[in-house]
Amino acid sequence: MNIPVVNLADFNSGDPQLKQYFVQQLGRAFEETGFVAVKNHSISDELIADLYQHVEEFFNLPVETKNSYEIPGLAGQRGYTSFGKEHAKGFDAPDLKEFFQFGQEVTDGDPIKEEYPANVTVAEVPEFTPTLLHAYKAFEGSGNALLRAIALYLGLDEHYFEPHVHNGNSILRAIYYPPITSEPKSAIRAEQHEDINLITLLVGASADGLEILTKQNTWVPVTSLPEQIVVNVGDMLQRLTNNKLKSTTHRVVNPPVEKWSSPRFSIPYFLHPKSEMSLACLSGCIDANNPKQYEDYTAGEYLDERLREIGLK
């Protein structure tokens, strides 16, 4: 399935017609499929290559070394999480992955810094941490531009999300799916799920496997070109928009037998707001045909609930 493609340069062009064209394209894609491919996203090819190189170097470290970066009590929100710890909501079987998470670095004196645990620095791969920081800021910039377009599509002020996502609780996650060495119990590497956050930005995984569930209830593989990033709606945005923008169900499946020996790397950026942001359904998304679907939550309350559901808390 070739998902809709949008050009972020249109939004940033300064041309009102191109900007509005982008807003409508993005909004319709998020209503109809929940996924979109974005080109001219301003995350450089060189940075992406460096990121994947250092991520692979980290996951190739000895198990005991990686385990030293797993910090108890952080619910996987910083540092390393070992193989098989996380499972999808509603499933008991663990996903066949391990991961490393990097979070917000507050540098402007904002007191919210006290809410966030420190990031974990990996000594054995000196370029790993600075590259994660560089990538985090690049994703943050692109993600915030996309949220401005989403705000306009929803009839809100263009800068509606900015106070909520400035120094927000976003996470950059580097995921490693090890090679398959024996007949797997399931065809699934990561069970079907929806993301927790507002939007997710995914820069090209190292191998195929991502599939989305269509409105016709069929699974189709997602493909995008190397110069594109894939962006999807998360549950927080679905709640906020009272299901106008749908959080799309997706999963990662095992490769064919001839590719079992190949690992898979994937690096999503989960764009989260500050914990105090209200996820109460927007009044403009509630009417007689679509009454309010969700009780009021803050982003922090919702994140805490979901982390428990997927086994990280």
Q: What is the pLDDT along the chain (313 residues), one digit of tens a residue?
A: 567 899 999 999 999 999 999 999 999 999 988 888 899 998 888 999 999 999 999 999 999 999 999 998 887 789 999 987 766 666 666 667 899 999 999 999 999 999 999 999 999 999 999 999 999 999 999 999 999 999 999 999 999 999 999 999 999 999 998 887 666 666 566 678 889 999 999 886 545 778 888 878 888 888 767 788 889 999 999 999 999 998 988 888 877 777 777 788 889 999 999 999 999 999 999 999 999 999 999 999 999 888 887 777 6
User: How far is the C-alpha of 213 from the C-alpha of 217, rounded, in Å?
Assistant: 6
CB–CB of 265/174 below 8 Å?
A: yes
Please give the pLDDT value at position 179: 81
Please give the pLDDT value at position 121: 96
- Looking up tokens 């394209």 gives 25
Instruction: Write out the two tokens for 299.
Output: 């982003």
Range 5-309 has CATH code 3.20.20.120: no
Would you kindly state where each structural domain of the chain is located, as residue ranges?
5-309
Instruction: Write out the two tokens for 81.
Output: 């999480």
Q: Is the dihedral of CA 270, 272, 275, 280 positive or negative?
A: negative
User: How far is the C-alpha of 128 from the C-alpha of 109, rounded, in Å?
Assistant: 25
Helix axes of 128-153 and 45-59: crossing angle, nearest 10 degrees: 130
* φ, ψ for residue 198, nearest 5 deg: -75, -60
**Beta pairing, strands 35-39 & 5-7:** parallel
Please give the pLDDT value at position 213: 87
Instruction: Write out the two tokens for 257.
Output: 């037998």
The 3-state DSSP class for residue 107 equals: coil
The 3-state DSSP class for residue 197 equals: coil
Please give the pLDDT value at position 205: 58
Please give the pLDDT value at position 4: 87
User: How far is the C-alpha of 300 from the C-alpha of 204, rounded, in Å?
Assistant: 29
User: How far is the C-alpha of 81 from the C-alpha of 69, rounded, in Å?
Assistant: 8
Phi-psi region of 22 (alpha: psi -120 to 50; beta: other; left: phi over 0): alpha
